[in-house]
Structure 1
Amino acid sequence: MVARKMTLDGRSQDRIERIEQKMKKKLVLKKADVVLDKSDFEEARNHIVERAANLFAGRRYDQVTLDDLIAILGIGKGTLYRYFSNKAELYSRILEVGHENLLSLLGEIHGREDLGPTEKLHEMSFSMAHFLRIHQDIYTVMAIEEPKERFCRSDKMIRYRTERIRMIASVIEKGQAEGMFRADFDPWLFAQSLIGALWVEAIFPFLLEGEIKKELRTEEIVSLFLRGIGMNPGVSG
């Protein structure tokens, strides 16, 4: 199959950049206990989350010690405890940030009235894959932790995952109602499978180098899924 090159449109890129601004850290923490301005509290927490995700992405939860966290963050224990009471709270927050930002991105695309079901599926798929690659550490932690019960069986985490699947499933349901997609398959199963395929490809790419090759790979995945539900990917809708 010859993959059709598809890139993010301007509006999608703007959305990604807006959400990325929420994750950028304007506060640089010193290698000592410092008194932080209260107005920077959330930025400081986000800074800690982003740096800690890098550490957890390379090791299992039980292998990361408090001393490891302090070393990579460049702060003292007292400073860390101002923002997180323990390692478990910090780890849970990494998972929450990943879910929240991904839902925010998908939600904006889902609400667009100028896109039909097929266009929305393409847009949501490409934006999600691109965003996962940009913030690979956080989403690698999520991919590692998803099968476990310790952190991912809470009501909040289940709601996050369910809402992510629901948004894509609702696009499929609309396409089915309009006669664009086959009606003999479960939209929720399709949505869960599509998310899983894109997630694995974005976090654990198979011998790919360069953004163009990654985008083409994403296009292949989306095209395979759309062909499977009886939709010609070259047709807009």
Structure 2
Amino acid sequence: MGSAIHLPANAQPDAMGADCGCLWEGSFSEVAPDSDLVILAKVQAMKGNAIDLLPERILKGTLWLDTLRVWMQTRDYCRPPAEAFPVGSRWVMALSQIREVPEDGFDPFTPNESFGRKDDYVLSSCGGYWLRVNGNTAIGNLVPGTPRFYHQPDMSPVLIDLIAGFVAGAVSQDAVIEASRERPEEVDTLILETRSFLRGQENWLPKDDTDGNVPTSEPDKR
């Protein structure tokens, strides 16, 4: 596999949401284009069945707030549990905005355990609606063919910039699929060794002359 991803002790289980009974809606690359908001964010706080996110980058949609609240699992709602997104962790999420709250969706006596508030957001567990972020890459149920309800598949981490390009329509799904293919560890080792070797040869490589042309060797005068 590619670069190691260090997961916390309470990392998400391999499968999540399969027991909810909802139909699988597709991988991240299939559900993100129709989501209201796609965001790279850090979990700032957890309150009941909700988490507060600190936005880092908007991949799709518009957000005018410094933070946003995302409502998770409670009752029989098909959403992942808030505990699966610990404070300090970073994620790419494809979210749906709450436009209407059902009559029994909000209990003033338990305001932090509810369906959610109007104009807040929810995260569904019926598709690849979230990706775990590590540095400038992400892993998760990203591309078609990933087992349903599995969010930590064997794959190569994919650059956030590439995912953002796909969401913006500038990068093809095939490019994302290719980037996510798991590489044998030997290939990654070879890539790193090659990069290290090239950096060590910088002083030996020919430099451009003042005209921008690579100098050629002088002719053999023998």
TM-score normalised to the size of structure 2?
0.24
| Structure that is richer in strand per residue | 2
Larger Cα Rg: Structure 1 or Structure 2?
2
